[in-house]
Structure 1
Amino acid sequence: MAVLQDLLAALRERRIEVVDLTAPLHPGTPVLQLPPPFANTIPFSLSEISRYDERGPAWYWNDIHTGEHTGTHFDAPVHWVTGREGEDVSQVPAHKLVAPAVVLDFSARAAADPDFLLEVEHVQAWTAEHGPLPDGGWLLYRTGWDARAEDAAAFLNADETGPHTPGMSVACARWLAEETALLGVGVETVGTDAGAAHGFEPPFPCHSFLLGAGKYGLTQLQNLATLPPMGAVLVAGPLPIVTGSGSPARVLALVER
């Protein structure tokens, strides 16, 4: 109990800050748009059941209408064909929902080039400066894309050639999946893959390699700029949807100040 008491004291005294990495969820929340003939998820919406009225005089509540992969959300392995025999979101062990995290900041590169791709060499240069990637932890990839989160057109950044958002190269996605002990990857964009990843080989390599390796994804994160390169602890809270491929999630970071 002493360790937990120390943690509570540190939280109370603000020696540990709780940083919310979650995008607010509302009808304007950007959602991934796939081209025909592929099916798309619905936008987030609420339908009112009652609000202190004849339908329920003392209570207010709503039905939620949304997709599993809307807003800040968690990708489980079963989300992708390469992970089809893996965990659904309800099967993710609870102890994996609290894990160390590192932040790789490439926001300047992404600001100069919205199609910027993280390469193995970028990650290796980062580890040479800061230290190794955390075993059983998260790599959080900061691109500054959260600044666009309230403007769906700017966030998706699509033109006649398709979306243009930063991501990872095929080689980097494969390397992170096969050569590291990471738990998963978190990003600020609408998905873990680059906007142009539909044209990669294989298409959508982050999904293909990471989920196929039993790792996880977190998307549409915010406030990564407030986290240190190393030392944060990530708390991810997806809904345990039985047979679900993912879930909207509340994602928090604990940071020692």
Structure 2
Amino acid sequence: MPLLTDLLEAIGDKRIEVVDLTAPLTENTPVLRLPEPFANTIGFSLEQISRYDEAGPGWYWNNIHTGEHTGTHLDAPVHWLSGKDGLDVSRIPLSTLVAPAVVLDVSERVEGNPDFLLEVADVRAWEAEHGPLPSGGWLLLRTGWDEHSTDEERFLNTDDTGSHTPGVSAECARWLAEETPVAGLGVETVGTDAGCAPALEPAFPCHHYFLGAGKSGLTQLRNLATLPATGAVLVISPLPIVGGSGSPARVYALVER
């Protein structure tokens, strides 16, 4: 077990930092809002069972009420029509849940344009500087949007014309899903698609292409600014819900310092 011993020692003496990328789950956690006539998920809430009282004098526990796609969560292929014959969240291979990750930072461009869409040329330029995307790994798109994650109104950024949050163009989503070796896409926004995604062709292209290709999505990440462009290991821990289309997840990265 020398490799695992070395890993634990490196974590213990801070040569490897464990960076939490997860947004805490509370009743104020922002959730995606679809327009009528579509149905929406519930937010997160706790229902107390007992707390050192007559219902349970020595213990405290709760029921949780939430949707699968609340807070920091994983999208499984079966979540979308294009992936309806694919894997549910309980069957996603562990090899894609502990995998290399790279960070593509477009936060400066998003600062003046909340409708920013990542294009193939942007990824090509990143690869020219940092090397190829990781086979079986994750592309994490840093937009700086996690700065708004405690303010639902600012985080969803919706007006009469729709939602205005950054994301990926339809062509780039197709290319990433079908022509690159990544296992999934991670974002800081409420969903893997941009706010304007309902008007793209196809609608919600990240969902359509990634999940249709048997790949996964990861949303509402935090602290991507602290990760290097390459070299991090991503660890994703969703609930293995049999038949589930996704799950809230604890997500963190191992970074060599």
Q: Same fold (TM over 0.5)?
A: yes
CA distance in 1, matches of 2:116, 2:146: 16
Per-residue deviation, 1:11: 0.6
Q: TM-score, normalised by structure 1?
A: 1.00
Inter-partner Cα distance in structure 2 for 1:142 and 1:97: 19
Equivalent residue letter for 1:122: D
Shift of 1:96: 1.9
Partner of 1:200: 200
* 1:40-87 Cα deviation digits (max 9, x unpaired): 000100000000111001100000000000000000000000000000
Within 1, Cα distance between the matches of 2:124 and 2:96? 25
Find the residue that maps to 2:82 and give its secondary structure: helix
Once residues 110 and 206 of structure 2 are traced to their aligned partners in structure 1, the CA distance between those partners, rounded to angstroms, is 18
Provide Cα deviations, 1:89-116, integer angstroms capped at 9, x if missing partner. 0011222210000000000111110000
Instruction: Give runs of ≥4 in structure 1 deviating > 3 Å.
Output: none
Give the equivalent residue in structure 2 for 1:12. 12
* Residue in 2 that maps onto 1:75: 75
Q: Amino acid of the residue matched to residue 93 of structure 2?
A: P
1:115-146 Cα distance to aligned partner (Å, 9 max, x none): 00000000000000011100000000000000
Q: Which residue in the other structure is 2:63 paired with?
A: 63
**Does residue 1:167 correspond to 2:167, yes or no?**
yes
AA partner of residue 21 (structure 1)? L
- 2:189 is matched by which residue type in structure 1? T
The alignment of Structure 1 onto Structure 2 pairs a total of residues equal to 257
Aligned-partner SS, 1:250: strand
C-alpha distance in structure 2 between counterparts of 1:12 and 1:23, whole Å? 24
Report the 3-state secondary structure (helix = DSSP H, G, I; strand = E; otherwise coil) of the residue aligned with 1:121.
Answer: helix
SS in 2 for 1:74: strand
Describe how 1:21-60 pairs up with structure 2 within 5 A. Answer: 21-60=21-60
SS of the residue aligned with 1:32?
Answer: coil
Question: Where do 1:227-242 residues align within 5 Å?
Answer: 227-242=227-242
Amino acid at match of 2:188: E
Give the aligned residue type for 2:10: A
Superposition CA RMSD, Å: 0.4
Percentage identity across paired residues of the two chains:
71
What SS does structure 1 have at the residue aligned with 2:71?
Answer: coil
> What is the alpha-carbon distance in structure 2 between the residues aligned to residue 148 and residue 224 of structure 1?
14
Q: Quick check: 1:218 aligned with 2:241?
A: no
Moved more, 92-101 or 76-85: 92-101
Partner residue in 2 for 1:109 = 109
Query: Can you give the 5+ residue segments of structure 2 that lack an aligned partner in the other structure?
Result: none
Matches within 5 A, 1:110-129: 110-129=110-129
